[in-house]
Structure 1
């Protein structure tokens, strides 16, 4: 059993299945078998003995959450995060985040850089916050709708399709500390107005702590005509969200689009009219490069004063 990491009212440690079998299975049975009605024969499998397990305990040492990491089956195969379970009374306290961090840390230390998981659809946004993007169609497993998700922890994650783009954008927004830069052609309909992205933006902008969101547009009139929801949010929070329209002809020729936060996260699209691109949540150097590109363009662009009087 590895050293525990404290997280206030609980701690997380990694363990071999043989050392913590009864505790791991007790949490999983309470969540999956009792609460979600998953048959016990489907909940348990032959992978457990060869997995790396994470276990969360309260101050008294009682197990309150679990997760496991299935090793790759070949050199080019992914590792698999699974059996993530937190007791009902501890949900919303950060236990799941700490368990996932512990598993990803173990994967990184072993060079297992390609990570996949099958998320229950109700938990999809949780994994998206941690840089996982959806892959393929949803499916039913143990009577519950699931979504396959994937994350690279050694290089950018390829973003293909709307679902992956929305997940990446919401993650970049949520992980911003105080600064978020958005470089867009016309506020990206279908992306920046997606409910999950708007929820993330609303959460960020109402957090306080001097948050600043700066949005550069090549065409300011298009989102105004479309009554883009982000404009309504900006009108309620004018000191937090600011818009400018690119004026310099050289800047207007820039073909790409991106988001970059001050926590090392970015989502870059080489062709700004397409959603295909790449994203990372732990790449401070690349995020900084995008911010450095953004700042001078922002300074020579014109404020969108017309947005302040929109009748939304």
Structure 2
């Protein structure tokens, strides 16, 4: 490994890294040039890996924790260079204070990123004609993936992190979402309720919620339902779409999102996913064209939120709209509303 040298490169003077991306993405994978080169290149931190003094691999890191454009020249593959540059980027990100990282992985490379501590946090989607999945990494949970010394497998930041009793919390300890904030924030427990409620309060008109019945501890909260009521009061053209995977007695009783449909039937609608489609374990919410919240696994009360991520919202909203187009009105809900 002493034949490897990794350095950061200025974009303007980074001809070598541009050549690598040209060969790997445009020439080899047939990615259109107008998709490969984007405006984020100018502000990104670029990394160039030299193997035996020759440029062999590259990657970039955005200020919001996105890792991308990871490429290794064909004749240098199989030497562990991809893992080497990824570990370097992850260590650099941690040193810069980033605690969460996200990347868009080509599906065939997902196993590679899992070995580095990333977990899948989206369904498959196409980007430039290639199947991808979003993958996430959190420093607090995966520190050992890039450490140079052996660390404990689990490192807790707070003993209450996995508390499932939904206790009261101090608002002063929750970092609010600022307008236009593009950072990826991890959330759990009561903090999730606070951040999601803030996201709805920043919403102007369009709210999409997928599979809230899998996270009753969050969406049945009085504070969240009141935030939806405030959204409706702000704009008479508000549209709230709630897509369930199933309807049970618990959802039809008590304080649930169904009460919004009963009170505001022209603005709020609940439907059920088509029974023939795959049931997903994730829970998600999008606001307008920019706000995004997700629980990758509904069985775990941990997820992430981003106040400003238009590209991600566009992709997930498109998937939601496809599911909505084939969804059905559940008889139990119709009887309740009557």
Q: TM-score, normalised by structure 1?
A: 0.49
Q: TM-score, normalised by structure 2?
A: 0.46
